[in-house]
Structure formats: C-alpha cells, structure tokens
Amino acid sequence: MARKASVIIEKDEHGYYAWCPELKGCQSQGASLEEALANIREAIELYLETLPPDERDVLLSQEILTTAVEVNA
C-alpha cells in the first residue's frame, strides 16, 4: 500500500541531507537531489518494514506543519 511521508531536504557543501520527521532517526543523504530522494525513500521503506502495521499508520498519520517565520537579525 502506498503511503505518503514528509521529507525535509537540506543542501550543504557535501550534497543533500534528507530526513523524515515522522520517523525519528530516519535519514539519508546523496550527492544530488535525485540521489537523496531515492535514498530517503529506501530508508523510509526499510524503517517501515520493521514496524507493526498499526504503528506505521499512527506514525504516518501525524500532522507535520512547516512554515517560515520572520526574525530580526
């Protein structure tokens, strides 16, 4: 069954770093954006395989909100 998971990706001097906020500790990286996305997709799938189905549903149903805030700097 296909599910959706949130993924946050940051670019740094070594490439791209990706993680899934719903799945604590589930992270990956890649030299390119495409590689990072493929790697985090695989990491999420492997992570979910270790969980009972009911726990997968709970974790992936969490509401993850992102926004930007203005700061004085």
What is the number of structural domains in the chain?
Answer: 1
Alpha-carbon distance of 26 to 39, in angstroms, equals: 11
Q: Residue 66: inside a domain, yes or no?
A: no
The pTM for the full model equals: 0.85
CATH code where residue 30 lies? 3.30.160.250
Q: Give per-residue pLDDT as tens, 6-60.
A: 999 999 999 999 999 999 999 999 999 999 999 999 999 999 999 998 899 889 8
Q: Examine residue 14 and state whether it is found in any structural domain, yes or no.
A: yes
Determine the structural domain holding residue 17 and report its residue range: 8-60
- Residue 65 domain flag: no
Q: How far is CA 69 from CA 19, 62, 72, in A?
A: 21, 22, 10
